Amino acid sequence: GIAITASTAEGVFYGIQTLSQLIRPSVVGAFYHSALIEDWPTMEFRGAHWFPSASGVSFHGKLIKRIMAQFKMNSAVIQCEAAVWDRHPEIAGPNSISKSALADLVTIARQNFIDPIPLINVPGHAEWIFRNNQNRHFAEDPSVAYAYCVNHPDSWAFIEDIFEETIEVFQPERFHLGHDEVTMRGQFPHSDCPRCVGETATDLVLKHLDRTTAWFRERGIETMIWGDMMLSRDEIPDMAAFAPNLEEAQIRRTNLPEGITITDWHYYREKEYPSLGYFHDAGHPTIASTWYVPNNIYHFAHAALENQSRGLLQTTWAGFFPDEQVLKNALHQFTAFILAAEYAWSGNDALPTDLPFEPGRVFLDSYYRSSDKELSGYLVDLSEMAETPREEWLGVENGWDFAALGSGKMRLDEVLFEVPQNLLLVGGRMAPESALKKVEIEIGEKAKTLALLNTTLFDAPQKSIPVRMTVVFADGSEIETPFIQGRETHHWKSEVPALSAAVGWRTESPFGTPMVFRVSRWENPHPEKTIRKIIFDHAAAEQAWALLGMTLLGE
């Protein structure tokens, strides 16, 4: 049997998530391996940051339930300043989320033991306030509607309205004020602003923080901000430093309001994160904030543990109004949730490349709820058309030629393929001489899904098109699909997640370089029609595409 024991309902919930990860399908239903697991989170705060939208409600509901909750995150920083607010509907965008839809996401989060934390960005990054040419009279720099004048009475009245409505929706214990990159655009303070005469950026930033944090403190709400305005490039030479010099940075940190949590963001650094210590020395708790670079997530998470930070916040910056379509071009930002959740929960010492799972595949399986069912179908015999010997693929020494993959029937990424000895190579002038510029494959079968075991020869830019596939139906109709690098296919050395091309097989070169084949899936919009033939045309002269298996899948 199964027993899950915990001292809280939250603990039982996490135990259920662990169990769901252990269960595997079998011919009679499901099974799990016998185990005794004692488990607890390494970090108190395990969160993700994202933007909601009207068209993205379903997307974010799945993100909460299938990714954040499944992998034991407990905080969602929801940047929602662009919502449709009752008191200020004039600033709404065409895809702004309604208050009722936002409230639904808040409810879903709490139902999954995730604390919903609103983020309203002030006083910089305030383009949302000036949308539709509104409120420009209290912009700090009239020529650049980016930050508002913190001394203007109308700016505070406006922001207070938004704060009050946000609190109505969220009923939060914590509130994120943004407060980042305030001086990035325009003048702050502006030389011609009569209300800011004699004040510096430091004066204005601290004054605004004092006022806003006091306002929230009266309502029993803790506050959070990004940390870049409190750091200088003299002490941490990266993008997350907007104090003009070391002295000003120290003044700002020393005079920060008590009780404010610093979400200290650094997105590209590795191994060295001294800013956590700077904030702790000034008496402020921190949360390490990462983006999508795997080694940054790993090293910053461990630096957070060493510095006794509260936890880890995984951020996304994929547009102000994202929905599920964002996964086509920004999948890597969301698959990074898996890494962040892993390191925040377990404190795992293994580098991302040494983990016993592929984060992109875990994300896609969980988000789309893959069944783990082993799929079989019509196996296309490519042997007569596959004319490129594997040792000619790269033209280099043994160990770089995919010989380890073997040939014959094999199951990869749940799909049974008939793998020929040679490669079917489609390419232009940069490909080996045996490459074909065009190939037509007779089929004569129906299919719901087409699975292709493939890769590309060169590391061409994302969104380039190495090959075009045309599916010709028996009734004469046809569908052409471009295979986009990074989406429907990818380079043989890349393990970066691709939305429609999961890593199906992996080995390493003699020097440890990853060598992968993808299993791309094409969903047929007309499964009721017989496919007469499939045509592949090379589309880029400086690229080649290799096919090593094709299977037509039914239901």
> What would the pLDDT profile of 394-452 be if each residue is shown by its tens digit?
766 667 878 888 889 988 888 899 999 999 999 877 778 888 999 999 999 999 999 99
- The mean-pLDDT minimum among 127-136, 200-209, 327-336, 498-507 falls in 498-507
19 has pLDDT over 70: yes
SS3 167: helix
Residue 42 token pair? 């390494």
Residue 174 token pair? 């914590």
Evaluate whether 142 touches 194 at the Cβ level (below 8 Å). no
Mean pLDDT of 369-397: 75
SS3 427: strand
Q: Give residue-wise pLDDT tens across range 185-238.
A: 999 999 999 999 999 999 999 999 999 999 999 999 999 999 999 999 999 989
What local confidence, expressed as pLDDT, does residue 411 receive? 87
Give the number of other CB atoms < 10 A from CB of residue 238. 15
What local confidence, expressed as pLDDT, does residue 47 receive? 98
Evaluate whether 34 touches 42 at the Cβ level (below 8 Å). no
What local confidence, expressed as pLDDT, does residue 397 receive? 64
Please provide residue 59's backbone torsions phi and psi, each rounded to the nearest 5 degrees: -55, -50
Which among 161, 155, 231, 228 has a CA at the least distance from the CA of 193?
Answer: 155
Give the number of other CB atoms < 10 A from CB of residue 138. 22
Query: Distance between CA atoms of 284 and 322, rounded to whole angstroms?
Result: 33
What local confidence, expressed as pLDDT, does residue 463 receive? 79
Estimate to the nearest angstrom the gap between the alpha carbon of 433 and the chain centroid. Answer: 40
Mean pLDDT of 491-510: 87
270 has pLDDT over 90: no
pLDDT level of residue 555 (50, 70, 90 thresholds): low
Q: Are strands 115-122 and 174-178 parallel, antiparallel or unpaired?
A: parallel
Which among 288, 225, 222, 283 has a CA at the least distance from the CA of 250?
Answer: 283
Percent of all residues in the chain with a pLDDT value above 90, rounded to a whole number:
78
pLDDT level of residue 1 (50, 70, 90 thresholds): confident
Query: Distance between CA atoms of 512 and 502, rounded to whole angstroms?
Result: 21
Which among 255, 274, 264 has a CA at the least distance from the CA of 209?
Answer: 255
8-state DSSP, 68: I
For 193, residues 6+ apart whose C-beta sits below 8 A from its C-beta are: 140, 149, 151
Mean pLDDT of 132-155: 96
Task: Give Cα separations from 330 to 191, 261, 335, 363, 499 (angstroms).
Answer: 40, 29, 9, 13, 9
Mean model confidence pLDDT for the chain:
92
For 194, residues 6+ apart whose C-beta sits below 8 A from its C-beta are: none
Residue 179 token pair? 């407060």
Q: Tell me which of 313 and 358 has the higher pLDDT.
A: 313
What local confidence, expressed as pLDDT, does residue 370 receive? 53
Q: Tell me which of 450 and 1 has the higher pLDDT.
A: 450
Query: Distance between CA atoms of 362 and 10, rounded to whole angstroms?
Result: 23
Evaluate whether 241 touches 231 at the Cβ level (below 8 Å). yes
SS3 420: coil
Q: Are strands 115-122 and 75-79 parallel, antiparallel or unpaired?
A: parallel
Strand (E) or helix (H) holding 409: strand 408-412
What local confidence, expressed as pLDDT, does residue 87 receive? 97
Alpha helices in 244-347 (DSSP H): 246-254, 275-281, 294-306, 327-346
Evaluate whether 282 touches 257 at the Cβ level (below 8 Å). no
What local confidence, expressed as pLDDT, does residue 343 receive? 98
What local confidence, expressed as pLDDT, does residue 371 receive? 47
Mean pLDDT of 239-247: 96
Estimate to the nearest angstrom the gap between the alpha carbon of 351 and the chain centroid. Answer: 19
